[in-house]
Structure 1
Amino acid sequence: MTGTAEMTSTRTAQRTGIAALRDPALWADRAAAVGLVALVLVFQLLDPGFLAIGNVRSMLLASAILVVLSIGQAFVVATGGIDLSVASTMTFAAALFGYGFAHGWGLALCCVVAVAGGAVVGILNGILIGYGRITDFVVTLGALSAASGAALVIADGKPVTVVDAGLLALSARGIGPIGWSVIVAAVLAVVGHVVLFRTRIGTHVLAAGGNPEAATATGISVARIKVFVYAASGLLAGIAAILLVSRVGAAEPASNTSFLLNSVAAVVLGGVSLAGGRGGIVGPVLGALLLTVLSNGLTMLGVSPFYQPVAVGVVVVAAAFLTRWRR
């Protein structure tokens, strides 16, 4: 009798496991992780050099900037908002860095100015959205244009070459194949995860995104939360600017809008609800890695760079489609 009961229990468990695998919600909740693994396997089969140490290092370095931007975007989207100015804020911060470097301010002061400049843009966004009650789309769209223009004015439309051994070490050195910029991004991801899930402010962020009226009724200042998340996004954009300058060796005043699209795509792939109230950091980080792997793999296969935005767009739409099954 005991053996029969054990067999029945085993069969029930197997049926439950099979049913779980057939559940679309299971795959939708893990879209970034599943997609990342699938892409790595496909590209490795098509090009055996894909997982070579040098290429892995290159992909990790390329993903570090997007990971940092995606962390800030994840906080904003978790409140039901969106930061369209994140890429322009990064460019503005990079221009500030280049201006300071050109005038001999010193590396430390240049970094502080870049991060502070990004944070100021974020704080202004948050104040206008939270206290001014202006739609986030309008405010951040305006900030996108203003920050891009300010970057061009500060740099006089010209890139500033940055030659500093300490700064370039962020990309050129590290621990094994892992560069220092990747370690910086990983540390920021851990900090973001802790803040979102282990602190009161993180609970308030999710509450404000899930139901602003109920959050206000419980004493949460939704306006302050808005200022916090946009300030965090701006501050992280400032840090991303430093990583970008260290990688290219110059402060470019021209805005790269692909970072905006990819940061939103990474967040959507990572399972953060565009409606707010649902967030995470691990998912967007995996989403950023997936997009980097996709771009790198297509390049290695000789696919024209003109088709790469098409591939990213398809991935974003597919991820958005999967949200209908997410728990």
Structure 2
Amino acid sequence: MANATLAAPERETWSARLKDAGFWADWAALVGLLVLVVVFQILNPTFLSAGNIASMLVAAAILLILAVGQTFVIATAGIDLSIASVMTLGAVAFGQSYAAGWGLLVSCLMAFVASGLVGAANGVIIAKGKITDFIVTLGTLSAASGLALILSDGKPVTIIDPGLLKLATGGIGIFGWSVIIAAVVALLAHAVLFHTRFGTHVLATGGAPESAMAMGISTQRIKIAVYSISGVLAGLGATLLVARIGAAEPAANTAFLLNSVAAVVLGGVSLFGGRATIVGPVIGALLLIALVNGLTLLGVSQFYQPLAVGIVVVLAALLTRFQR
């Protein structure tokens, strides 16, 4: 009788949760991913094959890293529209350094430096110049793209290196090295955001900037730091992108920008700052990749894929109204 008595309130609690729009808003990305997996597996049994899962994870690695960087920025109520162009600039810096004979490690470092400097510049202009992040990062989006084209003369640099080849093709089981690197980045980001003073200051800066300043938090330094983090992670994404395609391409892929923001929104991170998670954007990135991959396996035209992604993101944005 005691167990039956306890079970009734528990059932009522779960029933109330399922009727609560906030519950579905908090778990939208995970529920959406599970639904996509079930539907695509029914429609095409190869969807959950080991080879396809490995392919999806590799495709998600770069997006996941960019989404983590975007999460830090959005947690402060900002946005980084330049992240894809900054990654392109980092890739070009990598390619030009390698072509000059500077070696693999120095070329990787140059990708980090170039991207990190643009990220830091974004933060300084936004924090010190008190200019809205939308305008600043929109400007650096164009500037970074132009600089990448100037440095490369608009020509891609083919890079054939054993180290990069191993990075692109090696791994442990279905987890490629790029996937493992992305997972480590996500774990470190989670630890920094939720288990350090810096992470607390990031969330305070986004949630209540005036209160944060009253407590002695330098919100300007925090903003410079998060945009620098976004830039450095764009440099890491550039290195993985060069390894994946075997070349440093000067043309920016705007899909990375749109999808990095989409993954963050799907993950339940508040666009108004102060509320963030790392697990959410990771699941959001996986959802977007699974959606595109599944549609491709079903033979759906690529013209319809951006439409599907856009609809999913808008629905996720609507659900954020009900987040607790």
Q: State TM-score, norm by structure 2.
A: 0.99
1:56 is matched by which residue type in structure 2?
Answer: I
Is 1:241 aligned with 2:235?
no
Q: Relative to structure 2, which stretch is displaced further, 9-18 or 288-297?
A: 9-18
User: How far apart are the structure 1 equivalents of 2:188 and 2:276?
Assistant: 15
Given residue 100 of structure 1, which amino acid in structure 2 is its aligned partner? S
**Counterpart for residue 167 of structure 2:** 170
Q: 1:86-101 counterparts in 2 under 5 A?
A: 86-101=83-98
CA distance in 2, matches of 1:169, 1:310: 35
Q: Give the 3-state SS of the residue equivalent to 1:274 in structure 2.
A: coil
Deviation at 1:219, TM superposition (A): 0.3
> Matches of residues 122-271 of structure 1 in structure 2 within 5 Å?
122-271=119-268
2:4 corresponds to which residue? Answer: 7
- Verify: 1:21 aligned to 2:21, yes or no: no
State how far apart, in whole Å, the 1-side matches of 2:180 and 2:5 are: 49
Q: Quick check: 1:111 aligned with 2:108? A: yes
1:280 corresponds to which letter in structure 2? T
Cα distance in 1, alignment partners of residues 291 and 314 from structure 2: 15
Cα deviation for residue 278 of structure 1 reads 0.3
Which amino acid in the other structure matches residue 29 of structure 1?
A: D
Match of 2:280 in 1: 283
For residue 9 of structure 1, report the CA deviation from its aligned partner.
3.0
Structure 2 unmatched ranges of 5 or more: none
Question: Counterparts of 1:291 and 1:130 in 2: how far apart (Å)?
Answer: 32
Distance (Å, rounded) in 1 between the aligned partners of 2:25 and 2:67: 19
Report sequence identity in percent.
Answer: 62
What whole-Å deviation, never above 9, does each CA across 1:264-296 have from its counterpart, x for those lacking one? Answer: 000000111000000111100110010000111
Q: For 2:313 and 2:293, how far apart are their aligned partners in 1? A: 17
Indicate the residue corresponding to 1:62 in structure 2.
Answer: 59
Aligned-residue Cα RMSD (Å) equals: 0.8
Deviation, 1:12, is 2.2
Deviation, 1:18, is: 1.4
Name the aligned partner's letter for residue 302 of structure 1. Answer: G
Task: Tell me the distance in 1 between the aligned counterparts of 2:318 and 2:25.
Answer: 9
Shift of 1:15: 1.7
SS of equivalent to 1:275: coil
Deviation at 1:6, TM superposition (A): 4.4
Aligned residues: 324
In the alignment, the residues of structure 1 paired with residue 116 and residue 253 of structure 2 have an alpha-carbon distance, to the nearest angstrom, of: 19
CA distance in 1 between partners of 2:89 and 2:245 (Å): 16
Per the TM alignment, residue 16 of structure 1 is displaced from its structure 2 partner at its CA by 1.8
C-alpha distance in structure 1 between counterparts of 2:277 and 2:223, whole Å = 17
Partner of 2:271: 274
Task: Provide the rounded CA distance (Å) in 1 between the counterparts of 2:104 and 2:170.
Answer: 17
Q: Deviations over 1:166-218 (max 9, x none)?
A: 11211201001110000000000001000000000000000000011110010
* One-letter amino acid of the structure 2 residue matched with residue 131 of structure 1: K
Pairwise CA distance, 1:7: 2.9
Secondary structure of 2:235's aligned partner: helix
- Secondary structure of 1:294's partner? helix
Q: 2:50 matched to which residue of 1?
A: 53
Task: Identify unmatched segments of 5+ residues in structure 1.
Answer: none
Corresponding letter in the other structure for 2:35: A
2:82 — aligned with what? 85
Distance 1:95 1:12 in 2: 60
Code of the residue aligned with 2:129 in structure 1: it is: G
The alpha carbon displacement at 1:25 in A equals 1.1
**Structure 1 stretches (4+) deviating beyond 6 angstroms?**
none
CA distance in 2, matches of 1:17, 1:271: 21
